[in-house]
Structure 1
């Protein structure tokens, strides 16, 4: 029985700590995808759900990698589209999470309603962005997830996170149980 009759239009998934890696940034070529991530992306897409990567990558503005490095890598993982903030925190851009610029760009480009989108991430900034955009929020405990729940809890305590998942696999399983796909 579905608990929510809303039709999910898209899923925005964070990169570092959510689809692979750990609680630090690993640049393309050094990033290890979790064994189940690519298949989960493929499953969502085969069921008609758009799947987008949205990621803060300040190493780009610091010259440690290029946007094209990330795009090539993330395209290889199967995402329908990729939204990257290349700015450092100090640049004050509108796209860097916890701002909603990447979510808004994805919604406009692909004609989806953010209230019918899910955000899956491991950091407080993912959850704040999702909340500000009125998206469904799933926090994973991988990557910085435990830190978000413990050391940075004050940054998410007023956010109604729909589900706290062990990992991306658990998040996607919950999504299929709760929403119309």
Structure 2
């Protein structure tokens, strides 16, 4: 895998929550292995960044500050968050790579030396567009999205964004760095 500078981790379905429901801060149940996994990655000197779509902010259903407090409390160094609705034309909403590009600019990162961990194909497409290493976790929508891919439901850039590695959960993904990941079979 080479030298890694930073790890971008999706929120909903990757670090907590359920498959198809956004859960706002103070209601989110973080998976038990998340904080320890983030701690272990940080011990390796990695910058740990959240990147998440949260359109509930633009609808007035949630507050950006609450997301930042929640994510920083479990160990994230910086938060990259798209508050926009679908189809608003922003450049930050996944599957676009805007959040990754912003983070690279602000933190002097080579995105080819960064990893994206997520449970949705939009996470993988964003990573692919930015040149990042892609890890799909099987929590949240991970299994469902992998099945869609295998069933031929993704086309174009979605078809091209196959994960570089697959992991059962965030702990397995973090362990991947510590044990030098194996290619997906």
Distance 1:160 1:145, change over 3 A: closer
Measured after TM superposition, the shift of residue 150 of structure 1 is 1.3
Q: Distance in 2 between matches of 1:95 and 1:175?
A: 27
State whether residues 134 and 163 of structure 2, in contact with CA within 8 Å, keep that contact through their aligned partners in structure 1: yes
Give the equivalent residue in structure 1 for 2:137: 140
Query: What's the RMSD between the two structures over aligned residues?
Result: 1.3
State whether residues 118 and 124 of structure 2, in contact with CA within 8 Å, keep that contact through their aligned partners in structure 1: yes
* TM-score normalised according to structure 2 size: 0.90
Q: Deviations over 1:106-164 (max 9, x none)?
A: 11111110000000000010000000001000000100101111135533432242111
Task: Give matches, 1:78-97, under 5 Å.
Answer: 78-97=75-94
Give the equivalent residue in structure 2 for 1:15: 11
Structure 2 runs not aligned, ≥5 long: none
Measured after TM superposition, the shift of residue 92 of structure 1 is 1.6
Structure 1 runs not aligned, ≥5 long: none
Give the equivalent residue in structure 2 for 1:169: 171
Q: Distance in 1 between matches of 2:72 and 2:160?
A: 34
* TM-score normalised according to structure 1 size: 0.92
Q: Deviations over 1:49-89 (max 9, x none)?
A: 00000000000011110111111111111100000000011
SS in structure 2 of the partner of residue 7 of structure 1: coil
- Highest relative contact order (Cα 8 Å, sep 6+), 1 or 2? 1
Task: Give matches, 1:1-181, under 5 Å.
Answer: 4=1, 6-23=2-19, 24-151=21-148, 153=150, 154-155=153-154, 156-178=158-180
